[in-house]
Amino acid sequence: MEGRTIWWEEGGVGLIDQTLLPGRYEHVVCTTVRRLVVAIQRLEVRGAPALGVAGAYGIALACSMALQESPDTFHQSVQQDAAALRSARPTAVNLAWGVDQVLAAVMEEDNPAAAAHLALRLAEALADEDEAICRLIGSHGAGIIPDGATVLTHCNAGALACSAWGTALGVIRSAVADGKDVSVISCETRPLLQGSRLTAWELARDAIPVTTIIDSQAAYLMQKGEVDLIIVGADRICRDGLFNKIGTYMHAVTARYHQIPFYVAAPKSTFDPSRSVLDVIVEERERDEVAAFCGVRTVPDDVPVRNYAFDATPFDLVSGIITEEGIITRPYEHPWLVP
Ligand SMILES: CSC[C@@H](O)[C@@H](O)C(=O)COP(=O)(O)O
């Protein structure tokens, strides 16, 4: 996929509106922090590393807005915006990480104009670094994919979930760039369909063979021997397991039963060893994402709905975590996993 998922442009933070894909490819420019928070909550921009970049650019935007106000309230105003950005989505740790990377430097610079300049420079560097990290993840992971393999993935851990290239899809892209023949099964990823709308769109644009299935078909394809390997991304890697899009745990359990390798691809910024999976706030989203389909009611009004956006997979089910520094494997005692 050409270009970046999220960028800075005169007047605000530019992004591809991912809610419109694959039907429409449109850019949005968020000129206020409030609008950027809405974009994050609506999943116009989404995916853990892209949220990290959004958090960083969000602080640059907060600084540029605060500069128009009084210099006396600059730092206070940026801190308030930082709190709003940080809490826009609670589970992907990269969002708060991206905010904090830039905020810390802004708070140490007394001069508002210099702080705003610094914030933008740091956010741009973080976006560049994210792409470089994804390419490293890709080159470390490409070796695990055998030539001719069929790889199953869930949700979208591609270029659209990062600055560019992707984590799980970055590994697949790197294997293809190495000359391997790889085909992908993209689980549709109910209820917001990141797999069928985004992963399939990205891979088709790159001419990487991709087939979409409903999530509940994955186990049957594994039973039939049609899946060689699973690679997914992550939203937060705790000291005892990891969060990724709801449905990931189901694939990991099924993969273990069928003895299929199950890998996770993620950068260091997704690691949060300070927490156990039990301590993480798991985002619960609106009822209507599940209870309506294309405007048609699919659940009786008096029946409650649970709509967790993520689930936790214990390390016991994970064959390895592919990072920018190599692949972490059992017994998962790597320094990045120690509190
Ligand atoms: C490289 S992105 C990894 C994860 O962020 C991805 O798999 C995922 O779960 C995204 O969820 P989303 O709700 O679309 O932000």
Same domain, residue pair 166 and 186 = yes
Q: Mean of the per-residue pLDDT values for the chain?
A: 97
Domain boundary among 135, 160, 186: 135
315 alpha carbon – ligand 1 mean position (Å): 18
Residue 128 has pLDDT above 80, yes or no: yes
157 alpha carbon – ligand 1 mean position (Å): 6
309 lines ligand 1 (CB under 6 A): yes
Nearest CA to ligand 1 atom 1: 157
Same domain, residue pair 154 and 293 = yes
CA gap 132, 241 in Å, rounded? 26
The answer to whether 86 and 96 have CB atoms below 8 angstroms apart is: yes
Question: pLDDT class for 2, splitting at 50, 70, 90?
Answer: confident
Question: pLDDT class for 134, splitting at 50, 70, 90?
Answer: very high
Structural domain boundaries enclosing 313:
139-337
- % of residues, the chain, pLDDT over 70: 100
Same domain, residue pair 91 and 59 = yes
pLDDT, mean of residues 90-101: 98
> Tens of pLDDT along 273-324?
999 999 999 999 999 999 998 889 999 999 999 999 999 999 999 999 999 9
Among 235, 308, 313, the mutation site with the greatest number of ligand 1 atoms within 8 A of its Cβ is 235
Marked catalytic residue, from 130, 235, 272, 311: 235
CATH code (residue 43): 1.20.120.420
Closest ligand 1 atom to the C-alpha of 283?
13
What is the per-residue pLDDT for 93? 98
Complex prediction ipTM: 0.98
CA gap 67, 294 in Å, rounded? 43
Token representation of residue 284: 């619960």
The answer to whether 230 and 152 have CB atoms below 8 angstroms apart is: yes
The answer to whether 259 and 225 have CB atoms below 8 angstroms apart is: no
Same domain, residue pair 11 and 36 = yes
Same domain, residue pair 209 and 333 = yes
Q: Is 175 labeled as ligand-binding?
A: no
Same domain, residue pair 236 and 254 = yes
Same domain, residue pair 109 and 163 = no
Domain boundary among 120, 135, 150: 135
Helices 74-86 & 33-41 angle (0-180, nearest 10): 10
Structural domain includes residue 1? no
CATH code (residue 245): 3.40.50.10470
The answer to whether 187 and 246 have CB atoms below 8 angstroms apart is: no
What is the per-residue pLDDT for 294? 84
163 lines ligand 1 (CB under 6 A): no
46 lines ligand 1 (CB under 6 A): yes
CA gap 262, 134 in Å, rounded? 19
What is the per-residue pLDDT for 11? 83
48 lines ligand 1 (CB under 6 A): yes
Same domain, residue pair 50 and 150 = no
Q: Is 94 labeled as ligand-binding?
A: no
Structural domain includes residue 307? yes
73 alpha carbon – ligand 1 mean position (Å): 35
Number of domains in the chain: 2
User: Residue 328 pairs with which residues in a beta bridge?
Assistant: 321
Same domain, residue pair 61 and 154 = no
Same domain, residue pair 101 and 78 = yes
What is the per-residue pLDDT for 295? 87
Closest ligand 1 atom to the C-alpha of 244?
9
134 alpha carbon – ligand 1 mean position (Å): 14
Q: Which SS3 state, helix, strand or coil, does residue 77 take?
A: helix
Same domain, residue pair 244 and 330 = yes
Spell out the long-range contacts of 112-120 with Cβ–Cβ below 8 A and sequence spacing 24 or more.
Answer: 112/63, 112/66, 112/67, 112/71, 112/74, 112/75, 113/67, 115/63, 115/74, 115/75, 115/78, 116/60, 116/63, 116/64, 116/66, 116/67, 119/59, 119/60, 119/62, 119/63, 120/8, 120/60, 120/63, 120/64
Half-sphere exposure of 195 (CA within 13 A, CB side): 27
Establish whether 240 is a catalytic residue: no
Domain boundary among 135, 167, 195: 135
Residue 35 has pLDDT above 90, yes or no: yes
Same domain, residue pair 286 and 149 = yes
